[in-house]
Amino acid sequence: MTDIMDSPAVKAAVRSAAAGAGTGTTGAEDARGSADSAARGSANPSQPSAHQPLRAAVVRAAELARAAEERARDKQHAKGKKTARERLDMLFDTGTFEEIGRFQGGNIAAGNAGAAVITGFGLIYGRKVAVYAQDFSVKGGTLGTAEGEKICRLMDMAIDLKVPIVAIVDSGGARIQEGVAALTQYGRIFRKTCEASGFVPQLSLILGPCAGGAVYCPALTDLIIMTRENSNMFVTGPDVVKAATGETISMADLGGGEVHNRVSGVAHYLGEDESDAIDYARTVLAYLPSNAESQPPVYAYAATRAERDTAKRLAQIVPANERQPYDMLDVIRCIVDYGEFVQVQELFGASALVGFACIDGHPVGVVANQPNVRAGILDVDSSEKVARFVRLCDAFNLPVVTLVDVPGYKPGSDQEHAGIIRRGAKVIYAYANAQVPLVTVVLRKAFGGAYIVMGSKAIGADLNFAWPSSQIAVLGAAGAVNIIHRHDLAKAKAAGQDVEALRARYIKEYETSTVNANLSLEIGQIDAMIDPEQTREVIAESLATLATKRRVRRTTKHHGNQPL
């Protein structure tokens, strides 16, 4: 789309008008003069300007747009923030942004350049994406009727065109002067977001304040990206909190980027600054398809000797001792293309890892336990993290590769009271309903209910593999022996025998007979035993085998009742 504001004639007229501002002539007079001059000076009679001189109103609109951006720079840069248009330049491939409704909600004659939101389309890595960017320099970025109309129109177009939607949020919330009319627009945006959910990817960049009911716009999207500074989300601000509870708290401590990435889990990435946050959004979109009806993009990849040598390192990364921690990130980087793994919710529920990667050029979602953090145990936070990520992958046709090394669920009253039953059930629901290719590898241990929910064959995985040293059982050997042989151990203690030596013997016997992958292999719950260095190759071959897997509707239900 070519905007008349970008035409050489209009730009020349605006420059002339700006120069004439100091000569005593009025802007309108100078605009008319420069417009006529531009028309007379046209060397090519076929150009529109030769037959239709620029109207003063057009030049006036261009002047307003230029002045508005200058004001925005002055206001935003003073706060260490970019303007909405500068953010769009960073988000999209150079020169590809096409704005729609630029002056909608404005009054050119009265000197109002437009609404407090910019809407349009652009390209990210060559693929079309819709965007709305709130402009804090215009009425604090507040949302009124005009802004709501622009956003809803953009979202309707994005759904029709089947392209992702990116929201850049920097707003003071609902425009109080418009009262319920402003709140009504939030309701419309909520509904549009729900309509688009699972159909096109939706990302929210929180690059300023986001308060009150406005927080539910990003909360309904797939990923929320925040920054360390200037980024805030809360339903009730510090002043309201103090008035209601007496608690004094800063905006950052109440709902800053660090809080929502590390504590609440509301956000999915913490950018060091706006550039980092926007770059993450671009990166994530590179792994996702444009919509649920499309497949993810495929990238050229050619394995080299370095990659094959890296795959062989897997045998040395995972310790044989089940109690010795290691970094699962090292394992993942040995498996995926170029060792590139884009984490999601890196700071939240850290005993599990989720994120995007490629295998032989094909994007996949990776889910893994992290033995470096509480032995990779599942708790309320990591359960929700895994469940939501699997649902995201399933919605947008990304195969899920699950790497398992889990001792079970975290015990304790705090977990029970926090709803580990309800939250753990979310993982079950996500895997059991997923219809994308599911490939699971048990690296070291998989015990109890945690084994079942982490992409087991029983819950719906397509292909499951295990390393030779893997342990798969209801309980670890030590825990099982303490239950099974508790009477024998008690008798030995009463008789003065060496209880620890007896316990060690029982543990060794249990490990040999039960805590291994043999039973799972025999009953078909594990498809094959593989050497660690074969892991990447086996996953790639499995994904190629499952590439033609298609979705099946097994019942006529409207939808399931997911545990929430």
- The burial class, CB within 10 Å (0-12 / 13-18 / 19+), for 220 is middle
Q: Decide if pLDDT at 250 tops 80.
A: yes
One-letter amino acid at 32 equals R
Return mean pLDDT, the chain: 90
Helices 56-78 and 27-40: crossing angle, nearest 10°?
Answer: 120
User: What is the DSSP secondary-structure string of 205-218?
Assistant: EE-SEEEGGGGHHH
Placement of tokens 């936070």 in the chain:
381
Q: What pLDDT digit, counting tens, does each position of 454-507 carry?
A: 999 999 999 999 999 888 987 777 777 788 888 888 888 888 888 888 888 877
Strands of 415-506 (E only): list them: 438-447, 463-466, 471-473
Lowest mean pLDDT among 31-45, 218-232, 373-387: 31-45
Q: What is the pLDDT of residue 15?
A: 74
Q: What pLDDT digit, counting tens, does each position of 514-534 carry?
A: 777 787 888 889 999 999 999
Closest CA to 535 of 286, 318, 297, 284: 318
Report if residue 27 sits inside a domain: no
One-letter amino acid at 439 equals V
On whether both 259 and 342 belong to a single domain, the answer is no
Q: What pLDDT digit, counting tens, does each position of 258-269 carry?
A: 999 999 999 999
Asked if residues 193 and 231 have their Cβ atoms less than 8 Å apart, the reply is no
Report if residue 44 sits inside a domain: no
Q: What is the pLDDT of residue 534?
A: 94
Q: What is the pLDDT of residue 492?
A: 83
User: What is the DSSP secondary-structure string of 89-141?
Assistant: HHHSSTT--EEESTTTT-BTTTTB---SEEEEEEEETTEEEEEEEE-TTTGGG
On whether both 242 and 253 belong to a single domain, the answer is yes
Q: What is the pLDDT of residue 28?
A: 46
Could you give the count of Cα atoms lying within 13 Å of 37 in the half-sphere of its Cβ?
16
Average of per-residue pLDDT across 431-452: 95
CB contact set of 457 (below 8 Å; sequence gap of 6+) = 440, 464, 524, 525, 526, 527
Instruction: Quickly state the pLDDT bin for 52 (edges 50, 70, 90).
Output: low
Average of per-residue pLDDT across 343-348: 98
CB contact set of 369 (below 8 Å; sequence gap of 6+) = 328, 351, 352, 353, 376, 377, 378, 403, 404, 405, 406, 454
Structural domain count of the chain: 3
* CATH number of 173's domain: 3.90.226.10
Boundary residue ending a domain (257, 287, 317):
287
Q: What pLDDT digit, counting tens, does each position of 325-345 carry?
A: 999 999 999 999 999 999 999
On whether both 490 and 463 belong to a single domain, the answer is no
Report if residue 94 sits inside a domain: yes
What does each C-alpha distance from 322 to 376, 386, 445, 521 come to in angstroms?
A: 11, 23, 7, 21
Report if residue 19 sits inside a domain: no
Average of per-residue pLDDT across 99-121: 88
Round the CA-based radius of gyration of the chain to a whole number and report it.
Answer: 29
On whether both 356 and 440 belong to a single domain, the answer is yes
| Angstrom distance (rounded) from CA 292 to CA 302 | 28
Instruction: Quickly state the pLDDT bin for 50 (edges 50, 70, 90).
Output: low
User: What is the DSSP secondary-structure string of 283-325?
Assistant: HHHHHS-SSTTSPPP-------HHHHHHHHTHHHHS-SSTTS-
Average of per-residue pLDDT across 235-250: 93
On whether both 425 and 500 belong to a single domain, the answer is no
Q: Decide if pLDDT at 169 tops 90.
A: yes
On whether both 364 and 448 belong to a single domain, the answer is yes
Average of per-residue pLDDT across 300-311: 84
Q: What pLDDT digit, counting tens, does each position of 142-165 carry?
A: 999 999 999 999 999 999 999 999
On whether both 71 and 164 belong to a single domain, the answer is yes
Boundary residue ending a domain (261, 287, 313):
287
Q: What is the pLDDT of residue 539?
A: 98
On whether both 72 and 221 belong to a single domain, the answer is yes
Asked if residues 230 and 206 have their Cβ atoms less than 8 Å apart, the reply is no
Q: Kindly state the tokens that stand for 231.
A: 């980024």
Q: What is the pLDDT of residue 303?
A: 82
Lowest mean pLDDT among 3-7, 94-98, 326-330, 419-423: 3-7
Q: Decide if pLDDT at 379 tops 90.
A: yes
Q: Decide if pLDDT at 45 tops 50.
A: no
Q: What is the pLDDT of residue 53?
A: 65
| Angstrom distance (rounded) from CA 277 to CA 166 | 12
CB contact set of 72 (below 8 Å; sequence gap of 6+) = 83, 84, 85, 135, 137, 138
Give the single-character DSSP code of 526. Answer: S
Report if residue 2 sits inside a domain: no
| Angstrom distance (rounded) from CA 464 to CA 535 | 11
Report if residue 99 sits inside a domain: yes
What are the catalytic residues? 212-213, 449-450
On whether both 491 and 359 belong to a single domain, the answer is no
Boundary residue ending a domain (287, 313, 328):
287
Report if residue 552 sits inside a domain: no
Q: Decide if pLDDT at 214 tops 70.
A: yes
Q: What is the pLDDT of residue 2?
A: 59
Question: Percent of the chain at pLDDT above 70?
Answer: 92
| Angstrom distance (rounded) from CA 379 to CA 325 | 18
Q: What is the pLDDT of residue 14?
A: 72
| Angstrom distance (rounded) from CA 359 to CA 332 | 11
On whether both 454 and 482 belong to a single domain, the answer is no
On whether both 283 and 314 belong to a single domain, the answer is no
CB contact set of 462 (below 8 Å; sequence gap of 6+) = 437, 438, 439, 542, 546, 549
Q: What is the pLDDT of residue 22?
A: 56
On whether both 322 and 228 belong to a single domain, the answer is no
Q: Decide if pLDDT at 42 tops 50.
A: no
Range(s) of the domain holding residue 428? 305-475+515-546
Report if residue 372 sits inside a domain: yes
State phi, psi for 505 to the nearest 5 degrees.
-65, -45
